[in-house]
Amino acid sequence: MFDGQTVLITGAASGFGALAARRFAEQGARLALSDIVLAPLEALAEELRGQGAEVLTDRLDVTREADWAAHVARVVETFGTLDVAINNAGMGHDLAPLHTISVEAFDACMAVNARGVFLGMKHQLPVMRQAGRGVILNVASAAGLVGAGQLSAYAAAKHAVVGLTRSAADENAKKGVRINALCPSFSATPLFDDMADQVGARTGISREDAYERIAARVPMGRVSQPEEVVPAMLFLCARENSFMTGQAVAVDGGLSAV
């Protein structure tokens, strides 16, 4: 499905990003993988190269425009094209009521989750507009569609991602560039493990019990596995899915429906 296409994925060292890299590689994509930490990223790249994939890796701080400019330039120099960009890098914050969250924690969350997506699209779009085609997928969250108590800074950033997505989609629809957002809810990733550990520490329960307590908020009664979320990434990025743009697609077990 993605034979010969260049797919850029940020936050690729773990979670959704790492699994997406594996799935796109299986579909014949050439990969431009980045993360703030290099060791697990390079291990993943070596695994994929061993399976025959072409893989470029970069350390990328998504909050720094200079990093983005250099990364996109290197991708185009190496592969000649940028067909798909998945802005997946993100971070959470400690569970806390809004009035107790520090300005520093708020700014950090906005910088990675919202500014990072803005800067990514700022440098991805000129390449795609010049080519007359391309797909951008911004990983938001169900917290970008509904309120999220104890996670207000995270929710604010993810709402910003949805707003950026819809605005950029409107601007670029006639330029051949599709832009959508993916909005997963609780999923068994390192980010969610950290949340469950916080719940456990506060209540004196195990991570497994914290999983169950959080899952009780989801209409389907469980958290997702990344394997249930990443297929939506491939669908949203496929050229065959050629008439969808400006959408915030929830893969959330029904959380945003109630």
Share of the chain above pLDDT 70, in %: 100
Tell me the C-alpha distance between 57 and 177, whole Å. 24
Active site annotation includes 154 = yes
- pLDDT higher than threshold 90 for residue 206: no
In terms of phi and psi (left: phi > 0; alpha: psi -120 to 50; beta: otherwise), the region of 244 is: beta
Beta bridge partners of 135: 84, 178
Beta pairing, strands 55-59 & 84-87: unpaired
C-beta atoms surrounding 71 within 10 Å? 24
Work out the average pLDDT over 155-183: 98
Tell me the C-alpha distance between 225 and 188, whole Å. 5
C-beta atoms surrounding 110 within 10 Å? 17
Return the ∠ at Cα 143 (arms to 141 and 145), rounded to 5°: 90
Lowest mean pLDDT of 153-157, 221-225, 242-246, name the range. 221-225
Interval 189-205: pLDDT, tens: 887 788 778 877 888 88
- pLDDT higher than threshold 80 for residue 97: yes
Q: Can you give the pTM of this predicted structure?
A: 0.95
Work out the average pLDDT over 236-251: 97
pLDDT bracket for residue 236 (50, 70, 90): very high
Write out the H or E segment, with its range, that includes residue 66: helix 65-79
CA neighbor of 131 nearest in space, from 43, 9, 239: 239
Write out the H or E segment, with its range, that includes residue 18: helix 15-26
Provide the pLDDT for residue 202.
80
CA torsion, ordered 45, 46, 49, 51, to nearest 10 deg: -110
Domains of the chain: 6-185+225-251 (3.40.50.720), 186-223 (no CATH)
> Token pair of 138, please?
């911004």
Catalytic residue among 16, 68, 118, 154: 154
Provide the pLDDT for residue 61.
98
Interval 113-136: pLDDT, tens: 999 999 999 999 999 999 999 999
Tell me the C-alpha distance between 23 and 48, whole Å. 10
Provide the pLDDT for residue 212.
84
Work out the average pLDDT over 201-210: 83
